[in-house]
Amino acid sequence: MIHFILGAVFGGTVGILTMALLVAEKRGGKYEDE
């Protein structure tokens, strides 16, 4: 059960970091266009 929770937390963290990187890239592209 503990391993399942750790896996869920780790997977969620990776997902959040991935989304943050994608958003940062999109914002960077907008700034470059300006």
- pLDDT tens figures, 9-32: 999 999 999 999 999 888 876 655
Q: Does the pLDDT of residue 5 top 80, yes or no?
A: yes
Nearest to 11, CA basis, from 34, 19, 23, 33 = 19
**Which H or E run contains 28?**
helix 2-33
Residue 4 — φ and ψ, nearest 5°?
A: -65, -45
Q: What total number of domains does the chain contain?
A: 1
Task: Give the gyration radius of the chain's Cα atoms.
Answer: 15
Q: pTM for the whole thing?
A: 0.53
Domain that holds residue 22: 1-34
